[in-house]
Amino acid sequence: MKLRLAIVGLLLAVPTPLFAQAAAPSAPASGQAWQLKMTAPLEVGIVCADLERMLAFYTDVVGLKKVADAETPPEMSKLARSAPDGYRIVRMQTPNGERIKLIQPKGQAPKAAPVPEWAFLRAGVAFNTFLVDDMDAVVAQLRAHSVKLVSDNAIQVRPGVFALLALDPEGNYVEFVRYPDIAAYRPDLVKK
């Protein structure tokens, strides 16, 4: 099944004052004075307590491809202020090149955040969205793997637009959306 991934949020641990210093002081509040020049598609990180279980979900159920598995030693993770005892990071990729990284700190388990009843009432990064072409196939796949669905079926949230929220094994919301005309929604992706 071909999935297209639109990342709704970034999992960046950059303190606000440091980020504010990087902005140009004369940049307009709503203008496009500066644009990030990326060298590859966006990557999102998910810190997890049980990396193997999460890896099975995102590869076997969602269909991402595992592309890398690495460890960072404590001396480097301390310098980066990411984890005191090192960590393992596994990268998975969509057919379009976006990546989700699963990170498991060593030495101590990350603190679990409570799963809110309503996905949009969690501040910060709330979920990742996969844009799909066959919602029925997605629902069948999720049900076949006993994935917790937030609603029984995909819901038409706007004319022709269907959305379904599910929970991954550690309670992170995952959204699947089908647009009736992906070219109208994302004309930048249409090859001419």
CA–CA separation, 4 and 191 (whole Å): 15
CATH 3.20.20.20 for domain 3-9+41-189, yes or no, is no
CA–CA separation, 42 and 38 (whole Å): 8
Is the pLDDT at 3 greater than 90? The verdict is no
Segment 13-57, tens digit of pLDDT: 333 333 444 444 555 666 778 888 888 889 999 999 999 999 999
Give yes or no for a contact between 126 and 140, defined as CB atoms under 8 angstroms apart.
Answer: no
Segment 105-138, tens digit of pLDDT: 999 999 888 888 999 888 888 899 999 999 999 9
8, 30, 95, 130, 179 from 134: Cα distances, Å: 20, 36, 15, 11, 10
For the entire predicted model, the pTM comes to: 0.79
Domain boundaries, the chain: 3-9+41-189
What burial letters (b/e) apply to 8-47, b meaning 16+ CB within 10 Å?
Answer: eeebeeeeeeeeeeeeeeeeeeeeeeeeeeeeeeebbbbb
